[in-house]
Structure 1
């Protein structure tokens, strides 16, 4: 009852704590989704709307498929512009090849992502600096950040530190830089088309574009793109994918390790499991009391009964009991009928017991004499007992 009461108190305290937390004002959702419908600080609603305003005569088509599926299922009869904004841009080898082929045919692709898959970057001879560990260290520190293209643009949040460490000097050109002067917006000329890569997608978030005149950053970016594309496509696939789709990188652990929070939780779980095994390897249980084995009281019982008979000095009764127990032993061990205890019986028993015929015959002669006597002396009782004990001692 006491344990139940304790649990009830803890449950009540937890409910009151949750109720108190619910009264607090909710903080804004700072997840980076870049969805074209998301109006949260790091959604893509504003960027999507500005692109539609820039091309009022065009339909901005939403693509929810991987790029290879998009190419296979979409008929394109004129020059097109494809825009993708996501926190991470992970693609399969087939997607990367299809995208490069799409650009090579004369189309324009614009990709903005904090992490751009190396499968795609390798095909255009570019490399992105590994700043993921720095982002994790400063993810709780807010400070003024700035970008520059033709003009400089500022906001107050995590600083812009992503950049490209290698850009193909033959087919590539730097167009924008972060506050450290490192390139974060480049264009690559592939065949008859252009591939624009930008590695700080927060610059196209609702929060950034609605700060001061930062919407001009998107306008300047779009000025680099084609002035009058025949088709417009807005990607709504890669902003919802955090792992590759090439079969080798979509295992359960591969997906888990793509998320820093899940990775940390996984290792904490492993460490806790090891500690539990280390400190709780021995099973906890009540001390088992030592139970003494049941004593064999048959000897004590026999001694007690014998004492009673000896107290009465009834040697005849004792001798009869000894003979009865002995015959029962012969019957159970050697399967012989003791009621026909003649010469043949003695001969058979001597062979089975491994004793001489004379000793067996002498024993049964003594047994016969005792059975015929009305009284048994102490000497006769001791003689019978000694012969029976010798039989037990020397038999097979």
Structure 2
């Protein structure tokens, strides 16, 4: 197969690189598409075109929630691919929105060590990970395992992996909508680790051992296993999600990393450094202000013209870059329009308000939900960009076109 030939070429180059490099090998699992470490996914991503029969494979540079709303207008995108330890950036809003698209005939393939509770409840399955407390490279190295595929073509074939194979499998699932496509040997018993779940007119493939797609295993004689897994996906384009961006406007709470200031405040020495630096900055601004004074510009009186007055005020906001002020006025105008046109109270922008607004305006619930969540997110911001203003304006225009 072409994929095997290409992988062998990559293997030769990597071996050559290792012979000429003195850098210590990083055995941490990172699943990064641009990482050439043993447990990055550089090889499988760069061979994705061949794996998907030369269909287009798009590497997402924004959250799937935002990408689907902003770019997928015909409700069709093909196959969604996510290979990670856990899909942290795919929050509840993003999952609901993605499932809406899958229900209309698209497909998804997720290979994760950890599926969040909301995801499992939504698709009706539970998991069991007997090695969930093992995390260091030395401990993971001892975890070998044997995987199988249920297809008649591969039924008598086993795929043996020599390290980092967690005994992670699906404990329960809905047998009415689910087909077991693959298993893992756990204490001599084959447990399901690869499922095909029918969802509306689409299909979701879930897999519990993403380590099989890493560079180490793609170069260790088991590349056929990864290729066979992808062979279950229908022919079509693919959206490859590297999980590098959180949704810009999602209103759901996510686990976020501490800010840089929170990190400084956790350490007394860094806190003092921050305080002294701030005090020095105040002193500098105070003494510098006494020495310099900007020239006061001559402002000509405005003509008594309403049109020219409005034009001047608008230009002033744009010139000063006061996008937050313009956004606040845009939101106020939009909510006033809602109260006047649809006779709906805008005091509480909750789920009931969104459903009522979508119904009265003949807009889709998903797009109405996205608009209101965007408004809530922008209201919370203290500073907004020109891109925020343009996105909001476009969304409001699309809303009133219905």
Q: 1: CA distance between counterparts of 2:171 and 2:251?
A: 26
Measured after TM superposition, the shift of residue 32 of structure 1 is 2.0
Cα 1:232/1:191, change in 2 over 3 Å: same
Q: 1: CA distance between counterparts of 2:23 and 2:179?
A: 44
Q: 1: CA distance between counterparts of 2:82 and 2:109?
A: 6
What does residue range 46-85 of structure 1 map to in structure 2 within 5 Å?
46-75=43-72, 77=74, 78=76, 80-85=78-83
What does residue range 1-396 of structure 1 map to in structure 2 within 5 Å?
26-75=23-72, 77=74, 78=76, 80-90=78-88, 91-131=90-130, 133-136=132-135, 139-149=139-149, 150=154, 151-180=157-186, 181-212=190-221, 214-226=222-234, 228-229=235-236, 231-237=237-243, 247-250=252-255
Give the match for residue 335 of structure 1: none
Q: 2: CA distance between counterparts of 1:39 and 1:252?
A: 26
Cα 1:189/1:135, change in 2 over 3 Å: same
Q: 1: CA distance between counterparts of 2:67 and 2:85?
A: 20
Q: 1: CA distance between counterparts of 2:128 and 2:217?
A: 23
Q: Deviations over 1:14-33 (max 9, x none)?
A: xxxxxxxxxx9653112222
Q: 1: CA distance between counterparts of 2:51 and 2:256?
A: 41
**Length-normalised TM-score, structure 2:** 0.51
Q: 1: CA distance between counterparts of 2:129 and 2:204?
A: 21
Gap runs ≥5 in structure 2: 1-20, 259-265, 268-402
Moved over 4 A (4+): none
SS in structure 1 at match of 2:105: coil
Q: Deviations over 1:57-94 (max 9, x none)?
A: 42211112222112111225445111111111123110
Bigger relative contact order, structure 1 or 2 (CA pairs below 8 A, ≥6 apart): 2
Measured after TM superposition, the shift of residue 198 of structure 1 is 0.7
Cα 1:108/1:133, change in 2 over 3 Å: closer
Q: Deviations over 1:233-254 (max 9, x none)?
A: 111126x78xxx865442558x
- 1:160/1:179 contact within 8 Å kept: no
> After the TM superposition, which of the residue ranges 37-46 and 152-161 deviates more from structure 2?
152-161
- 1:109/1:194 contact within 8 Å kept: yes
CA radius of gyration, larger in? 1
